[in-house]
Structure 1
Amino acid sequence: MIPKLRGRGISSTDALSEALGRPVSNQEGLTSEGTVVAYWSLLDYYTDESRIWTSVEWAQHLDDPNWQHPFAASLQGDRRAILHLSVRLLPDDRELTPAEWAEVGHRLARVMGIAPPGDEQACRCIAVRDQSHRLDLLANLIREDGNWAALPAQVLHMLAAECRRIERDLGLLSPRDHHAGPFQQHTPTRAQAIGDLVDSIPVAELSDEAHRHFAAARLLVEKAARQLGTTPSNGPTLAHQLEWIARHSYSLESDLAEIIPGQPGTRTPGEGLAARLPAGLPSARAARTR
Structure 2
Amino acid sequence: MHGLSTSCVDGLAEALGRPVSDQEGLTTEGTIVAHWSDLDFFTDEDRIWTSAEWAQHLDDPHRQHPFAATYRGDRRVILHVSVRLHPKDRELTPAEWSEVGNRLARVAGIAPPGDRHSGRWIAVRDQSHRLDLLANLIREDGVRAAVPRKIHHVLAAECRRIEADLGLLSPREHHVSPFKANMLAAATQPTTERLDPSIVAHLSDEADRHLAAARRLMEKAGQHLGAPVASPSPHLPAGFPAPGSPRGR
**TM-score clears 0.5:** yes
Equivalence for 2:194: none
Secondary structure at 2:66 match in 1: coil
Secondary structure at 2:165 match in 1: helix
The correspondence for 1:8, drawn from 4, 8, 16, is 4
Equivalent residues of 1:112, 1:155 under 8 A apart: yes
TM superposition score normalised by structure 2 = 0.68
Secondary structure at 1:41 match in 2: coil
Whole-angstrom CA distance in 2 between matches of 1:118 and 1:34: 25
Secondary structure at 1:87 match in 2: strand
The answer on 1:37 being equivalent to 2:49 is no
The answer on 1:153 being equivalent to 2:170 is no
Matches within 5 A, 1:52-91: 52-73=48-69, 75-91=71-87
Equivalence for 2:118: 122
> How far is 1:128 from its partner?
0.1
Matches within 5 A, 1:165-180: 165-178=161-174
Whole-angstrom CA distance in 1 between matches of 2:46 and 2:160: 38
Question: For the structure 1 residues 98 and 72, does the alpha-carbon distance in structure 2 shift closer, same or farther, using more than 3 Å as the test?
Answer: same
Q: Give 2:12's aligned amino acid.
A: L
Equivalence for 2:89: 93
> How far is 1:179 from its partner?
7.8
Equivalence for 1:229: none
Equivalent residues of 1:19, 1:128 under 8 A apart: yes
Equivalent residues of 1:110, 1:116 under 8 A apart: yes
The correspondence for 1:164, drawn from 153, 160, 173, is 160
Q: Give 1:33's aligned amino acid.
A: E
Secondary structure at 2:111 match in 1: coil
Deviations 1:121-147 (A, max 9, x none): 101000000011000000000111111
Equivalence for 2:232: none
Whole-angstrom CA distance in 2 between matches of 1:149 and 1:59: 19
Equivalence for 2:226: none
TM superposition score normalised by structure 1 = 0.59
Unpaired runs of at least 5, structure 2: 177-249
TM superposition outliers: structure 1 runs of 4+ over 2 Å: 73-77
> How far is 1:153 from its partner?
2.0
Equivalence for 1:47: 43
Which structure is larger by alpha-carbon Rg, 1 or 2? 2
Q: How many percent identity over aligned positions?
A: 74
Whole-angstrom CA distance in 2 between matches of 1:48 and 1:80: 30
Q: Give 2:23's aligned amino acid.
A: Q
Matches within 5 A, 1:208-247: none
The answer on 1:113 being equivalent to 2:106 is no
Whole-angstrom CA distance in 1 between matches of 2:112 and 2:165: 20
Secondary structure at 1:130 match in 2: coil
Q: Give 1:19's aligned amino acid.
A: A
Equivalence for 1:25: 21
> How far is 1:74 from its partner?
6.3
Equivalence for 2:135: 139
Equivalent residues of 1:114, 1:149 under 8 A apart: yes
Indicate the larger mover: 120-129 or 45-54: 45-54
Equivalence for 1:263: none
Unpaired runs of at least 5, structure 1: 181-290
Whole-angstrom CA distance in 2 between matches of 1:36 and 1:18: 14
Q: Give 2:43's aligned amino acid.
A: T
Equivalent residues of 1:74, 1:148 under 8 A apart: no
Whole-angstrom CA distance in 2 between matches of 1:59 and 1:156: 24
Q: Give 1:148's aligned amino acid.
A: R
Equivalent residues of 2:62, 2:69 under 8 A apart: no
Equivalent residues of 1:127, 1:137 under 8 A apart: yes
